[in-house]
A and B are shown apart, each in its own frame.
Chain A
Amino acid sequence: MSLVRVIAMAASAIALSVFSASAGEVCAAKTVKDGVLTPATGDPAYFPWVADNNPSAGKGFEAAVVYEVAARIGYPHDKVEWAVATFDEGIQPGPKNFDFSVAQYSITEERKKTIDFSDSYYTAATAVLVRKPTVEAGLKPDLAALKKLQWGVAAGTTAGGILAKTVGPDKDPMMFNDTADVVQALKSGQIDATMLDLPTALYESAVEMDDGVVLGQFPTDNSEGLDQFGMVLEKGNPLVACVDKALQSMKADGTLAKIEAEWLSSATGVPVIK
């Protein structure tokens, strides 16, 4: 018995030492700027993903994840220099001016043909954002009612595809450049509803709108309604292995869950759409 315990202890000691050795070890892959890690995000970057549009502060879910990953692949806080990348710069082919980009990029098979994704660092439920008057007029979180609405989504996101598959609205949805424009159209009543990942929906309804309501979220067992966010890297960039390893270790030791709990509101209380 004691032998088994000793072996187990030894094994865990070895495992721990391996872990601590790998954490903080400089990744073998080269970065775009020597000795520095250059992550990118959108400008503006939105809360709760990045706080105050200032990723260097390390506040906000994605900013915090990036600094944790950076530390684990050997780049302490002062060796991280942020770049700005638009959505298109993220997914276009060819060399990048950043090592990886984080901006709620959904992992899809088609995108993988042009770029590489890291492992997913967050799985978002898809939520429906509406205005209070619409709810007061009797809107219920069921698919039949949602079909009749005038929808609007940010183009370029996976929301359009999810909307078509899950709701299949009667009227063609309108499309906008980004979430800010979608929310503006929602505020002025040009659209009735939009589809966002749940954290963003909660943030928009609480902060950006006077009368925003998260009507509901799609059940998390429905893979159509789920979005997995991954970091975007240039196709074939060997850095992806390091990043994946860091993410795996963050999942294993609960760091990722801790960051998530700190920044992303809990989904409790948001009804599930039937």
Chain B
Amino acid sequence: MTGALEKPKLQASGAVNPRRIREERIRRRGFAVASASTAAVVLALWILIPMAPGWSKVQASFFDWEVFAKTFPKLLSAFLVDIMIFAWSAPLIAVSGLAMALCRDVRSPALFPLKLFAIGYNDVFRGVPVMLVIYLFGFGIPGLGLPRPWNSPYIWGTLALVCTYAAYVAEIIRTGIESIHESQRSAAMSLGLTPSDIMRFVILPQAIRRVIPANMNILIALQKDVALLSVIGPVEILRQAGVEKSLAANFTPYVGASIIFLAVTIPATRYADRLIERQNRQRS
């Protein structure tokens, strides 16, 4: 037994290790198989799609270089509207999501109505499609007869996004809070910290750190959903693409808009994946 255990150890220190060579060979073979199959699939798509009967029509109306070059700069500048809405929505969502999570976590009986409110709030805003909330807020509230600028679609559209996304963020933060082991609370309580100090200094810092990756995914979703505000007036990228599309009767502007979205979401998604991976590694 001892001999069998020692043998690879001895060889590992040497220059030639048959096991390592074998592993290397397997890894290389795996890489080759992956590249070959990917190439085969891409090639098949490359050949098969243009063989479809409607390809030339689709190509003309979705991939028209001239239309692309003409509309892309306009799409880019319309995207600034999306970025703007995102930039002021995200912090508001973070704050209100946290507030809702805390409301939901209250343990004092006196504050029970707050907890009830938080539960109802979450049920409503996670249950209604964000598009409907935008419509209801964006047309309904200004319809009450608010004077300008208080009937701006930017205000009520943002509120719709914030209300909806805060419900999701609250839920994520709450699971984060619940994932912190009860013993942390016990230890903090035994030191005589007040419940609010326990939450602020012991539970939340750990909980928030744990849910950062999940919230990154929420941010990515938000970044896309900002475009939904277009239905209540703002001319952001999706609307601009729609306008260009109907002017040109050509769908290439949508392809352009997709490219702009991807340019933002792909790096963001990769970053979120890396955060999750790092966290998993730390926990194991």
Q: A residues touching B (Cβ–Cβ < 8 Å)?
A: 87-88, 91-95, 108, 110-115, 150, 152, 155-157, 160-161, 172-177, 181, 184-185, 187-191, 235
> Are A157 and B234 closer than 8 Å at their CB atoms?
no
> Are A185 and B54 closer than 8 Å at their CB atoms?
no
The B contact surface, by secondary structure, is helix
Q: Contacts A93-B54, A93-B57, A155-B239 given: A188-B145 contact, CB under 8 Å? A: yes
- A110: contacting residue among B57, B231, B232, B250, CB under 8 A: B250
Residue of B nearest to A235 (CB): B57
Q: Contacts A87-B246, A110-B248, A190-B151 given: A177-B142 contact, CB under 8 Å? A: no
> Are B233 and A155 closer than 8 Å at their CB atoms?
no
A161, B145: Cα distance in complex, Å = 30
A155 — which chain B residues lie within 8 A by C-beta?
Answer: 230, 239, 242-243, 246
Q: B residues touching A (Cβ–Cβ < 8 Å)?
A: 54, 57-58, 60-61, 139, 142-148, 151-153, 230-235, 239, 242-243, 245-251
> Are A172 and B249 closer than 8 Å at their CB atoms?
no
Nearest Cβ in chain B — how far from A89, in angstroms? Answer: 12
> Are A175 and B151 closer than 8 Å at their CB atoms?
no
A113, B151: Cα distance in complex, Å = 40
Residue of A nearest to B233 (CB): A174
A168, B15: Cα distance in complex, Å = 78
> Are A92 and B251 closer than 8 Å at their CB atoms?
yes
A184, B153: Cα distance in complex, Å = 12
B142 — which chain A residues lie within 8 A by C-beta?
Answer: 185, 188-190
A91, B243: Cα distance in complex, Å = 13
Q: Contacts A93-B60, A175-B230 given: A160-B243 contact, CB under 8 Å? A: yes
Q: A181-B232, A191-B233 are in contact. List 14 more A-B contacts (CB 8 A).
A: A93-B58, A94-B57, A111-B248, A111-B249, A157-B246, A174-B234, A177-B231, A188-B139, A188-B142, A188-B144, A188-B151, A189-B142, A190-B152, A190-B233
A40, B152: Cα distance in complex, Å = 36
> Are A175 and B250 closer than 8 Å at their CB atoms?
no
Nearest Cβ in chain B — how far from A179, in angstroms? Answer: 14
> Are B153 and A114 closer than 8 Å at their CB atoms?
no
Nearest Cβ in chain B — how far from A242, in angstroms? Answer: 23
Q: Which of A93, A108, A187 has the most CB of B within 10 A?
A: A93
B139 — which chain A residues lie within 8 A by C-beta?
Answer: 181, 184-185, 188
